Copies of this chain bind each other. A is one copy, B any other.
Amino acid sequence: MKKIANPNRQPTILEVSRKAGVSTATVSRVLAGLEGAGDATRKKVLRVVKELGYQPNRLARNLRATSRKVVGVVIPDLQNPFFTGIVGGIEEVLHDAGYTLFLANSDDNIDRELIEMQTMRSDRVSGILLIPCQSEAPHYQEMAWSDTPIVAIDRSPIGLDVDFVATNNEEGAYLGTSRLIEAGHKKIGIINGPEKNDVVKERQAGFRRALKMGRIKVRESWTARGDFRIGGGKKAAMQIMSGAERPKALFVTNFLMMLGALQAVHELGLKIPDDVAIISFDDMPWNIAMNPPISAVAQPTRELGKTAAQLLLDRLAEPARSVRRVALQPELKVRASCKAMEK
């Protein structure tokens, strides 16, 4: 009979079995809710479990089972509401399916992103949900492991042929820009993100398509790039709006840069929407509390997360299924920041 050398630690199944006068196998069966368990024993076991405050050790359990009911989530920035919104959606679906979440922050650093994914793999997560910090990375090719399914969100990592979900960015930019044109605008500027980002390219494309449809020519001096952060947006807006001839409308491709642009506009003493109309990508709860309320191309943030989670669940259920790429439709929220131009 084995000794219990367990000073000051959480109780084990062995201790439960001893105290209940049964075998560990029986305890295991009772806890698994399996058939084959006498009513008397079952009750006794459950009582002891409660008495001892026994919690099965999931590590030991999963060491055998090889299926962990844990998924890893890697995002570039914990503070960005767009990303946390996605995590919210992920959490909703996965929690209901009985999964636990490992959360890691890649901090927009591709090396760290890789390390986090490796750690998760070490932890034998069932799968990984990844919001890549870049579209392209040397690692992605070699990360295409056969055994840990990955679902990419928002940005499609080149070389990683995995399930993928994102907003239809081209369409979103088209919708937003078109709205400005419909309102009578012809002098339209754009603040876009870093050049080699796929998302950026798509939004750029949508913007240009809208201009083309409206027979408006692109004006390079009204185009600027930020870094998707507040500071970059402010700088870009300053650049565009302090020129001799400035646009009467601005399409901003991300909400953080929009906040920066707003600062710039205020500092320049311009009025929205009279001096300049604004519409941006991403709709945030506070847009409506702004003065004036800000128009936006809303991404279905939560839905992105839910879809990604479902994609993973599906793949777990059927590992061989073919790779799916899902595009979710954005929605235009028109508010006072882009009302019709005074003729």
CB of A62 within 8 A of chain B?
Answer: yes
* Docked pose: A84 CA to B95 CA in angstroms: 19
Does B291 lie within 8 Å of A53, measured CB to CB?
Answer: no
Do A122 and B56 form a contact, CB below 8 Å, given A8-B147, A63-B63?
A: yes
Does A122 lie within 8 Å of B66, measured CB to CB?
Answer: no
* Docked pose: A58 CA to B123 CA in angstroms: 5
Number of copies: 2
* Docked pose: A104 CA to B101 CA in angstroms: 7
Chain B residues with CB under 8 Å of A118's CB are: 55
CB of A340 within 8 A of chain B?
Answer: no
CB of A81 within 8 A of chain B?
Answer: yes
Q: Which of B8, B66, B81 contacts A79 (CB 8 A)?
A: B81
Does B262 lie within 8 Å of A121, measured CB to CB?
Answer: no
Q: Report the stretch among A37-45, A85-93, A205-213 that lies at the interface.
A: A85-93
Chain B residues with CB under 8 Å of A62's CB are: 59
Chain B residues with CB under 8 Å of A60's CB are: 63
Chain B residues with CB under 8 Å of A91's CB are: 78, 105
Do A259 and B289 form a contact, CB below 8 Å, given A10-B121, A100-B119, A105-B95?
A: yes
Query: Taking beta carbons and an 8 Å cutoff, which residues of A are in contact with B?
Result: 8-10, 53, 55-60, 62-63, 66, 68, 73, 78-79, 81, 84-85, 87-88, 91, 95, 100-105, 118-119, 121-124, 145-147, 230, 256, 259-260, 262-263, 266, 272, 284-286, 288-291
